[in-house]
Chains A and B, each alone.
Chain A
Amino acid sequence: MICLHHHLLALALLSTVGGPSTAAAQIRASEMGTMSQIIDGTRIAMQFYRPRARGRDTLFGKSDMSWGHTWTPGANWATTLEPSSAIKLNGVNIPKGKYSVWMRLNSASAWTFILDPDFHRYHMEPPDSNAKQIRIPVTVTTAPFTDVLTWSMPELHIDGGTLEFRWERARVALTLDVTPSLVMTFPATEATALLGAYTYTDIDKGKPVGTPKTLTITHEDNTLKGRFDPDDPYFKKFALIRIAPDWFAPGVYDKTGKIYEVLRPDETWEFTRTAGKIVSFVVRGEDDEIFARGVRKP
């Protein structure tokens, strides 16, 4: 026994001293994967080992994925979820932090998504239900067969998206919302000072260029909006989103009427007041150079 112990110790020393630089390499049945997505400055990071079906047609409802069991949607060490700021999943608040992720497999169609603050847990040691956990009932839908367990965000919008789990024929989709960095709406009472028509002139190296356009600022759907005449095919009708008092960044709408891009810091619209009323503005680029001016029309 002593000899064996010494032999193993010698092997261990050899492996540390003379081993190849890839000594940490290990071929696993479930290789580690990561998923990371930044939405409006909030990073959502997941780490998970990715088991493969390996020819097995039915996985759920059997073995450690039997109905009633709590299972980490991954393998080896528990899958982790780490939002860099507070998020919501299916409307449930998830504070910034790092969590282990578990699913209670209630039935083929109804699971409970569980986040536990104890994030470093072996997959065979699911945590007992406790007050610190966040538990969200989720619906399991049927999807095309997925061989390798996958977490992804297949849908994104400016303040969230869909966090999706898929393996075998199971699909769980959670609505994810981040805390918006900007307030898109604008009070009508404050909008009055900005509303109206402006002569908008492009500026290059301090001098006017091109033909001036008319910019009309309106207040619609509780949002400050601008529109050029002649029409700008990219901007069309766009939002003016306040980033500081009298400083705005343009937000561009998609065809469904949702803002999909906010041009910050690309464009900062800096308005100037006289006697409380907006009389003019400049548009500055990321480099702080003025590339357009606007003057209120009489």
Chain B
Amino acid sequence: MSVCAAGVATVAYPIRMAFARTTAHDCASDSSGERANDSAGGMVHVSRQKTPHPKPRTGITGANVLTAAQLADHEKLIPLFDSVRKIPQIIDGIRCNCGCGHPPEMYSLLSCYEGEAMARECAVCQGQGKLAARLHSEGKSLAEIRIALDAKFG
């Protein structure tokens, strides 16, 4: 699943393997357990009891994600915001792990790219968006993307 320096065809092994071990869980609560598995080949990351990943809202769009014009002071972030705008159904199904405390107006990671847009300043919001967009472009499902984000940022 990674970029491969040697040009060898990369495989979706890591995240798919982790996902395969959690398919019995509800996608929206796959990170709510204390200990996901043991170290013997399973998913070893132990996520704290956090709020579950949100369910993407029906009909959600990226219309409120900040545009290039709204990011005049953050030009380097325009490609990231553009990539997030294209996959609202994915980004809206991800819990933000930046430690913002999930104020009521923040439904999902998508909220971090709208309005006041915490992602303009927050490296964790940016990193989560980048990783989610990359994995989506590699064909990963929302469930796989959630697991990868929890492993890295959870």
**Given the complex, which residues of B lie within 8 Å of A179, measured CB to CB?**
34-35, 46
Q: Which residues of B contact A164 (CB under 8 A)?
A: none
B119 CB to nearest chain A CB (Å): 11
Q: Could you say which of A18-26, A119-127, A268-276 contacts chain B?
A: A268-276
Let me know if B14 and A246 touch, CB within 8 A: yes
- Size of the chain A interface, CB-CB below 8 angstroms: 43
Q: Tell me if A295 is interfacial: C-beta within 8 Å of chain B.
A: yes
Q: Name the distance in Å between A167's Cβ and chain B's nearest Cβ.
A: 33
Quick check: B152 and A268 within 8 Å, CB to CB?
Answer: yes
B2 touches A242 (CB 8 A): no
Q: Mark B102-124, 1 if CB is under 8 A from A, else 0.
A: 00000000000000000000011
Choose one: A42, A181, A186, A264; the contact of B39 (CB below 8 Å): A186
Q: Is A294 an interface residue (CB 8 A)?
A: yes
Q: Mark B124-143, 1 if CB is under 8 A from A, else 0.
A: 10110011001000000000
B106 to chain A, nearest CB (A): 19
A287→B127 contact, CB < 8 A:
yes
Partner of B14 from the list A180, A201, A245 (CB cut-off 8 Å) is A245
Instruction: Tell me the total A-B contact number using a CB cutoff of 8 A.
Output: 112
CA distance A41 to B130 in the complex (A): 24
| Closest residue of A by beta carbon distance from B134 | A288
Q: Is the CB of A295 within 8 A of B6?
A: yes
Chain B residues near A280 (CB-CB < 8 A): 4-6, 8
- The verdict on A239 contacting chain B, using a C-beta distance below 8 Å, is no
Contact of A295 among B5, B126, B127 (CB under 8 A): B5
B10 contacts A287, CB within 8 Å? no
Evaluate contact between B8 and A42: CB separation under 8 angstroms: no
The one of B4, B8, B151 in contact with A244, judged by C-beta atoms closer than 8 angstroms, is B151
Q: Which of A265, A272, A274 contacts B152 (CB 8 A)?
A: A265
